[in-house]
Amino acid sequence: MSSIQRNPPSAEEYAAYADRFNNRGRWGEQDELGTLNFITSEVRREAAATVTQGRVVSLGRPIQTRPGPSNPWPANHMVGMPQAQGAGDYLGMYLHSFVDTHIDALSHTAGPDGLVWNGKSLGRDGMPTEHSGTVDFWRDGIVTRGVLYDVPRHRGTDFVAPGEPVHGWELAEIAAAQGITPRSGDAVLIRSGLDAYWAATDAYPPFASVTGVHASALEFLYETEAAVLMWDFQDAPESDQGIPNPLDVPIPIAMHVHAIALPLMGLPLVDNVQLETLASSCAARSSWEFQIVVAPLIIPGGTGSPVNPLAIL
């Protein structure tokens, strides 16, 4: 990891990421797993060996049914069917929010070239023109070693402040400080301290990430062959990136990590994880590795799925 660049990329260097970190075709033109291919049977066995306490910690957040600035499309949950002589639930939700824990499928975001994973094209409806890159291909779930990169703890702060994004070289430093050697197939969990930030801030969370992870982290994720990225805050805002937003989106959402990770690296993202309990547990046991389990719903053609990730300590 000593080769990880210690300077944020310029706009030109970031544009070159599309070639440097391009996994399209690496596992065949019809591949639907992307970097999940790094999770071999041996990786799963080694992940199971990290379990020492047998304790399970949920990393999911409750599905939000109340509207707000960060949740303009709240979930619709209705309960009650008296004629059926039993309870029944209806749930409808918008997956890709900043409040609910969900996994992004590889078709969720196109790259700077307008194509999704493995260079597949999009139709006029914004979906792949063929059944590709969708979450139903991950019906067997994700079981691997998880590593928590607790950035606020490393910095000696409560949270990652705006203007101070998480860089790739800092992740390498945290791994060394925690005595962790990144392995191929890892689930990389980046804690920026979302809950502590909003607890200390007299403001309503917007539909955007106000701090978080810099595009430079992509180099670390690519070089260490991460299988999946899980985070509380997502891409740091454009003002913290120092380079233009790679995608022309009508809302102020930075896409610097998304636009390379999903369509070019084939790296699944699990957004809005709750990492506070896990962070306290890892610190108490002085170990930041564990087994991670993520089981997406089988949604044919879905660009993502709600999930309740589990860390087994």
Q: Is the pLDDT of residue 2 over 60?
A: no
Q: Is the pLDDT of residue 11 over 60?
A: yes
Mean pLDDT calculated for residue range 239-263:
91
Report which of residues 204 and 282 the model is more confident about: 282
Q: Is the pLDDT of residue 250 over 90?
A: no
pTM of structure: 0.96
With contact defined as beta carbons under 8 Å apart, do 238 and 244 qualify?
yes
What is residue 82's predicted lDDT score, i.e. its pLDDT? 66
Residues in the chain: 313
Q: Is the pLDDT of residue 87 over 80?
A: no
For each of the domains in the chain, give its residue range(s) and CATH number, in order of start: 11-61+101-312 (3.50.30)
What is residue 152's predicted lDDT score, i.e. its pLDDT? 98
Share of the chain above pLDDT 70, in %: 97
Q: How confident is the model at residue 21 (pLDDT cuts 50, 70, 90)?
A: very high
pLDDT tens track for 188-225: 999 999 999 999 998 889 999 999 999 999 999 999 99
Q: Is the pLDDT of residue 56 over 70?
A: yes
Answer positive or negative: Cα dihedral of 273, 276, 278, 282.
Answer: positive
Report which of residues 85 and 11 the model is more confident about: 11
What is d(CA 37, CA 19) in angstroms, rounded to the nearest whole number? 20
What is residue 89's predicted lDDT score, i.e. its pLDDT? 86
| Distances 276 to 59, 111, 269 between C-alpha atoms, Å | 9, 32, 19
Strand order in the sheet with 269-271: 56-58, 310-312, 289-294, 142-150, 187-191, 228-231, 269-271, 102-104, 304-306
pLDDT tens track for 89-144: 889 999 898 999 999 999 999 999 999 999 999 888 888 888 999 999 999 999 99
What is residue 3's predicted lDDT score, i.e. its pLDDT? 65
Q: Is the pLDDT of residue 19 over 90?
A: yes
End-to-end CA distance of the chain: 26
Average pLDDT over all residues of the chain: 94
State residue 251 phi and psi, 5-degree precision.
-125, 155
**At residue 124, what is the residue type?**
R
